[in-house]
Amino acid sequence: MKAGRKNLQRACQDGSAVTLAEGESIMQVVTLRGSNLIEVTDGEGVKSLALFPAKFQKSFWIKNGNFVVVDASGRDEALESGSKIGCVVSRVLFHDQVRALEKSGEWPAIFKSTSNSWAATTEGTTSQVEEEQNSGDDSDDNLPPLEANTNRNKPFDLHSDSESGSDSE
């Protein structure tokens, strides 16, 4: 592993407490656009495009709803010059770091409800699956029964002859 990737991973493992520098802000990932571009929304609800740097490739993966620290110091100048990309991701936030930021008071008010639901969905998925399995097949949700697939021939039922022979004995 190259030194840059080692340093990047070491910085993420060591730093559970995140401090925001001047010009940095916390943003939530809205959509992944591809080609290292992501659409993010800030604390005021304004959406913009951010660049996910190549140094994060094969080290960190993000999905919709994750939180990132973005360097938005040149955002206004970039948008005035006609560039679509307004900011650059400087750090990916993990669950422990999000919790620490919420307690410190640096967390934007607009994200308070989404961060709690994000944590609940990641922790509650197993309990929801268990509840669905325990409910069984009793609830059909008032759906009609499934029709037989007419696109395939029915296989021969070879086991029926042997079963009927054992039943008659």
Burial (0-12, 13-18, 19+ Cβ within 10 Å), 39: middle
In the block, tokens 């029915």 appear at: 154
Residue 169: inside a domain, yes or no? Answer: no
Q: How many domains does the chain have?
A: 1
Residue 56: inside a domain, yes or no? Answer: yes
CA-to-CA distance for 41 and 158, rounded, in angstroms? Answer: 61
Residue 95: inside a domain, yes or no? Answer: yes
Q: Report the CATH number that the domain containing residue 91 is assigned in CATH.
A: 2.40.50.140
Residue 55: inside a domain, yes or no? Answer: yes
Burial (0-12, 13-18, 19+ Cβ within 10 Å), 95: middle
Residues with Cβ < 8 Å from 80, sequence gap 6 or more?
Answer: none
Q: Give the structural domain span for 61.
A: 3-10+22-120
From the first residue on, what is the mean pLDDT of each consecutive set of 10 residues in the chain (169 residues)?
A: 70 68 90 91 90 85 91 82 88 86 83 59 42 50 74 67 53
Q: Which two tokens stand for residue 168?
A: 């008659």
Quote the pLDDT of residue 15: 57
Q: Which two tokens stand for residue 125?
A: 């998925």
Burial (0-12, 13-18, 19+ Cβ within 10 Å), 37: middle
Quote the pLDDT of residue 162: 52
Quote the pLDDT of residue 75: 80
Quote the pLDDT of residue 89: 92
